[in-house]
Amino acid sequence: MHRHRRRDATLIEEIGRLTMKRAAILRALSLGAVFAIRFLLSPEPSIAADVDCRSDSGIPSGVITPIDVGQLRKSLADAGFTVGGSYVGETFTNTGGIHQGGTYDGVLWTYLLGDLHKAGLWNGLCFYADAYQIHGRSITADDIGSLVTVSSYEALPSTRLSELWLEQHLFSDHVTIRVGQLTADSEFLLSSGGSNFLDSTWGWATLPSFDLPGGGPAYPLATPGARVALKPSDKWGFMLGVYNGDPAGAQCKGNPQVCDDNGFDFRLDSPPLLMAEGSYKYNQGGHLPGTIKIGGWNQFGTFHREPFGSGSPTIARTLNSVPVENDWAIYGIVDQLVWRVPNSQSANGIGLFVRIIGAPRESNLVDFYADGGITFSGMMPYRADDKLGIGVAYTGISNEHGFDGGSGLSSARTFEALVEICYTAQLRTGWTLQPDFQYIWQPSGTPEPSGRGTIPNAAVWGVRTVINF
C-alpha cells in the first residue's frame, strides 16, 4: 500500500547493530510504542491528512446488492463507520497425495471500518477490526500432505478475531502509522499477479510459513505490532513493520491455531520480527506499467527449529528442537504488464510476475522459494473483468534440514513444485466464480511423513465462489 525508498537504510543498519542485544531492542520497541500511543492520544495534529475511512452510504463498493436492513448501515455511516464482509465457499477433489477425496470449506469474513474524525476525534485517524468464521475440512492436511496449502482460506474450524488497529494518516497520506493487532501477509511480500490464484503460497509463501515461528503473522493468526509506511511520491514507497515474533506465544508446542484459537490472546511474550519492504512503480501513466519490490525480515532472539514434518519453529524448546538465533530472509518481486488491450482505460492485458525469496540454509527448513507466471485480464469481449492466471511455484528444501522428523530418514526431502491454472469469472458485481486446477510434484518434498514411502504427485480440481456484501 504505502512505500518509501532507501534513505531509511540507515535506520535498518542501526537496527542490525542490535541483533545480538535483545534487551536493548525490546527497550527500544517499548519506547517506540509509548511515543506512538502518546501521539495517537494527543490533541489533533495539524499535519493530519483528511482521510475518509468509510462509505457515505454505509454500503461498501463492489457488493452484490446494497442491503441495509432498517437503515442500520446508514446510521453507522452517519457516525463514521462502515460494516462489510464476504462469504467464501470452495470445494476441492484430488487424485494422488495421501488419500483421494473431496472437501468443502468456507469462511464468513466481516469487518468494521471507522473514520474517527467523523466519530468526533481528529482528521486522518482510522479504526479497523475484522473477524472470521471458518468451517469445513482442509484438503491439504487430510488428502494431499503438501507444503503448499491448496486454498488460501484453509484453516482449523474456528470463530476468531483477526486484525484490530488504529491508523493515523499524515502529510496528505505520505506517512501512515498503524498500531494494534496486525497481519503481515496483508501488506508485505505481495505480487499483484499472484492475487489471481487460490493456493496460499502465492501470498504468504511456503518459506515464511515454515521458517518463521508459528508460521509468522499471517492468516488466520494476527499478532500485536506496529507498521510505518512512507510514500514520498506515487513511484516510491517504503514500509517497516515490527511484530510479536511468535503469534501463537512463547509456550506453544503444538499447532499454533490451537494455541491461539480465538484471536484474543494479544501476546507480547516473544522476541520481535522486523520486516521491511521498498517499492518502485514505473510507467504508471504509460502504456505498460510495472512494479519492483525489494524486502526482507529479521527474526530476533532465539527460537527452536523442529525436525521436518514436526511443525513450524517455536519459541518454546522441545525434545528434538535445534536452537536458532536471529534468522533472516530477503526477497524481490517484479510485476510487469507486457501487452495492453487496445484503448483500455484500466491496465488490462497480458502481465508477467516473478517473486524470489532466499534464507540461510543452515538455520531454515526452506532456504529457497521462487514463483512466477502469466496473467490475462479483460481480453474477452463483454468479459472485461474476467482473468486467467497460469503460475509455477518452487519450494527448495535445505540440504541440512531435509530429513523426516517421523522416520529419521536423512537427505530425503529436496523440493516441492506446483503449477496452478485459475480462471476468475465475475458473474455480477460482488460475485465471482473461480474454477481451478493444481498439480503438485513431490508433495512434502518426497517422503511420506510416516516413512512408508513417497507421496504420489497430486492433481487437484476445485472451484471457489466469493460473494461480497
Q: In which residue are the cell numbers 517455536 written?
A: 314
**Which residues, in sequence order, are CB contacts of 63 under 8 Å at separation 6+?**
84, 429, 430, 468, 469
HSE-CB at 366 with a 13 A cutoff on CA atoms is 30
Largest CA distance in the chain: 67
Residues in the chain: 469
**Which residues, in sequence order, are CB contacts of 343 under 8 Å at separation 6+?**
none
Q: Which residues pair with 126 in a beta bridge?
A: 115, 167
Question: Could you report how far apart the first and last alpha carbons of the chain are, in Å?
Answer: 23
Residue 210 and residue 242 in contact, taking contact as beta carbons nearer than 8 Å: no
Q: Write out the DSSP string of 252-295.
A: --S-HHHHTSSS------S-EEEEEEEEEEESTTSSS-EEEEEE
| Cα dihedral sign, 186-188-189-190 | positive
| Other CB atoms within 10 Å distance of the CB of residue 181 | 23
* C-alpha Rg value of the chain to the nearest Å: 22
Burial level of 272, CB count in 10 A (0-12/13-18/19+)? Answer: buried
Q: Looking at 79-170, list the stretches that DSSP marks H as alpha helix, in order from N- to C-terminal side.
A: 139
Q: In tens digits, what is the pLDDT along the chain, a chain of 469 residues?
A: 434 433 343 333 433 443 343 344 344 444 444 444 444 444 444 455 555 676 777 888 889 988 888 888 988 988 899 999 999 999 999 999 999 999 999 999 999 999 999 888 889 999 999 999 999 999 999 999 999 999 999 999 999 999 999 999 999 999 999 999 999 999 999 999 999 999 999 999 999 999 999 999 999 999 999 999 999 999 999 999 999 999 988 788 889 999 999 999 999 989 999 999 999 999 998 899 999 999 999 999 987 766 655 555 665 555 456 677 889 999 999 999 999 999 888 889 999 999 999 999 988 999 999 999 999 999 988 899 999 999 999 999 998 766 544 444 444 689 999 999 999 999 999 999 999 999 999 999 875 554 445 789 999 999 999 999 9
Q: Which residues pair with 159 in a beta bridge?
A: 133
Q: Write out the DSSP string of 159-205.
A: EEEEEEEEEEEETTTTEEEEEEEE-STTTSS--TGGGG-SSGGGTS-
Please provide residue 465's backbone torsions phi and psi, each rounded to the nearest 5 degrees: -125, 140
Single pTM value for the model: 0.85
**Per-residue model confidence (pLDDT) at position 318:** 52
d(CA 158, CA 131): 10
Q: From start to end of 306-430, where are the E strands?
A: 322-340, 349-358, 366-377, 387-397, 415-428
d(CA 215, CA 464): 25
**Per-residue model confidence (pLDDT) at position 169:** 96
| Other CB atoms within 10 Å distance of the CB of residue 3 | 22
Burial level of 156, CB count in 10 A (0-12/13-18/19+)? Answer: middle
CATH assignment, 6-468 = 2.40.160.180
